[in-house]
Chain A
Amino acid sequence: MKISEIQELIKFVSKSGVSEVEIEDKDFKINIKTPPFKRGKQSAQQDQQQPMVAQVIPAQQMAAMPQQMPATMPPAQAAPAPASNPAAETAKKEESKEEENNYIEVKSPMIGTFYRKPAPDKAEFVKVGDTISEGDTVCVIEAMKLFNEIESEVSGKIVKVLVDDSTPVEYDQALFLVEPA
């Protein structure tokens, strides 16, 4: 398939109102998706600037890709897809779950004492309104003189701190509410 043909195809798909087109031939596979707002289903969670996505996958790489999920595709673009794609199905389910419960809890992995600062004279690790990345330290939990730096497993914005500084926490207790990025 020539570049000009691909361009033609993308133009056609974008005008047609179709959400996704997948064409597979002997030596190539092309997958074109349109962002949801182009289809009139405007969603607050979707980036309005999101470009239309076209994926061309050479046939020899296809075998290595389970469930036809292009490895180079960013996760944010994985959601809108036809129901026949099982991987996208899962992504869709996760998305709707997130919509129901927009915030993610950062939980305590252990019993201990919750500290918001690395030392009494130091600043808090995080405050409400702070933007955090995955892997950032959000607090310390101490038990038996073992100090555990708790890292966030999500990126986003701290919406609420659920536990007071220097107070005991239980295993799996929610510590922070994070609005995922």
Chain B
Amino acid sequence: MSFSDFSFKVYHFSQLESTNIHARNLIHAKSAKDGDLFISAYQSNGKGQIKSTWQSEPGKNLLFSLVLEPNIQIQHQFFISMAVANSLRELIQQLTNMACELKWPNDLILNGYKIGGILIENHFSKGLITHCIVGVGLNVNQVDFPADLKLASSLARETNKTYRLSTVMESWKPVFARYYTLIKARKWQKIKQIYHDNLFLKGRLARFEDTEGEFEAEVQGVNDQGYLLLKRSSGIKEYELKQVRFIAKA
């Protein structure tokens, strides 16, 4: 598949329960294709991680789900996550002229605040990822956030500018298409290299917590499965998302 073969087909909705759920239903009905993109001005039940939902004011943010048919092996699933994160990071940098970083595994960080998240659902058959739903929530023009979301912000709040959502969307498409080409061409290490180049705290010391307590470690990067590699006094250790908690920069 070459760069020009991939095309987006965009479907707009004023309100959906969740664009990811909509995409999932269409995949189950076998009527979703590579490049189908569902965008909603508002999600009544936007998905975060399984226990969290995404807080968003209607019409202010970019909320969409993209269907992909990557046909890659399950052990390469984290490369999709990294490719999407890379593309959004590049987009934000392009729009704001500010450095945007990726906080493991795939949070978008601008000025130390989280301005977007990615949630990916894979459907696979016999070890191959046949369909992938890439759910993206990017805070664009929302300025007020609930008090309990201290670390949440938006492009507008960090730059004192407002953005046309359609422009943000259109700017993202060619950037993502370029990363999708890397996935299709199995350029795994290239994707990981770009991810590492922009990984929050990479090569630096930070405080973390695991089941045995707090510790200080240097962020080494991720392995191919997406585990965080932390260099501790005892050696390099791999962590799954639920096995470790970031506390603060050292």
Least Cβ distance of B225 to chain A in Å?
8
Note all chain A residues with C-beta closer than 8 A to B28: 137
Asked whether, in the complex, the Cβ of B241 is within 8 Å of the Cβ of A147, the reply is no
CA distance A149 to B105 in the complex (A): 20
Is A83 close to B, CB under 8 A? no
Note all chain A residues with C-beta closer than 8 A to B49: 142, 145
Asked whether, in the complex, the Cβ of B81 is within 8 Å of the Cβ of A109, the reply is no
Asked whether, in the complex, the Cβ of A115 is within 8 Å of the Cβ of B50, the reply is yes
Asked whether, in the complex, the Cβ of A120 is within 8 Å of the Cβ of B240, the reply is no
Note all chain B residues with C-beta closer than 8 A to A168: 242
Asked whether, in the complex, the Cβ of B126 is within 8 Å of the Cβ of A153, the reply is yes
Those of B19-72 within 8 Å (CB) of chain A:
24, 28, 45, 47, 49-51
Asked whether, in the complex, the Cβ of A145 is within 8 Å of the Cβ of B121, the reply is no
Is B120 close to A, CB under 8 A? yes
Note all chain B residues with C-beta closer than 8 A to A147: 50, 119-122
Asked whether, in the complex, the Cβ of B106 is within 8 Å of the Cβ of A145, the reply is yes
Q: Report which of B119, B125, B127 forms a contact with A145, defined as CB distance below 8 A.
A: B119
Asked whether, in the complex, the Cβ of B120 is within 8 Å of the Cβ of A145, the reply is yes
Q: How large is the interface on A (under 10, 10 to 19, 20 to 34, 35 or more residues)?
A: 20 to 34
A136 nearest CB neighbor, chain B only:
B28
Q: Report which of A109, A111, A120 forms a contact with B124, defined as CB distance below 8 A.
A: A109
Note all chain A residues with C-beta closer than 8 A to B123: 148-149, 151
Those of A83-116 within 8 Å (CB) of chain B:
109-113, 115
Is B137 close to A, CB under 8 A? no
Is B226 close to A, CB under 8 A? yes
Asked whether, in the complex, the Cβ of A145 is within 8 Å of the Cβ of B122, the reply is no
CA distance A120 to B77 in the complex (A): 24
Least Cβ distance of A157 to chain B in Å?
21
Is A144 close to B, CB under 8 A? yes
Asked whether, in the complex, the Cβ of A149 is within 8 Å of the Cβ of B50, the reply is no
A148 nearest CB neighbor, chain B only:
B122
Least Cβ distance of B77 to chain A in Å?
5
Majority DSSP secondary structure for residues of A touching B: strand
CA distance A134 to B163 in the complex (A): 46
With A109-B127, A144-B105, A148-B124 given, is the CB distance from A120 to B51 under 8 Å? yes
Asked whether, in the complex, the Cβ of A149 is within 8 Å of the Cβ of B121, the reply is yes
Is B118 close to A, CB under 8 A? yes
Those of A119-175 within 8 Å (CB) of chain B:
119-120, 135, 137, 140, 142-149, 151, 153, 166, 168
Q: Report which of A111, A146, A151 forms a contact with B125, defined as CB distance below 8 A.
A: A151
With A109-B74, A111-B240 given, is the CB distance from A146 to B81 under 8 Å? yes
Least Cβ distance of A168 to chain B in Å?
8
Is B78 close to A, CB under 8 A? yes
CA distance A168 to B240 in the complex (A): 11
CA distance A36 to B130 in the complex (A): 41
Note all chain A residues with C-beta closer than 8 A to B242: 113, 168
Asked whether, in the complex, the Cβ of A142 is within 8 Å of the Cβ of B50, the reply is yes
CA distance A15 to B49 in the complex (A): 65
Note all chain A residues with C-beta closer than 8 A to B225: 111, 143-144
Least Cβ distance of A106 to chain B in Å?
13
B123 nearest CB neighbor, chain A only:
A149
With A109-B74, A110-B74, A146-B80 given, name 5 new contacts (CB 8 A). A146-B77, A146-B122, A148-B124, A149-B124, A166-B50
3 pairs of A and B residues whose beta carbons are closest in the complex: A144-B226, A147-B121, A144-B105
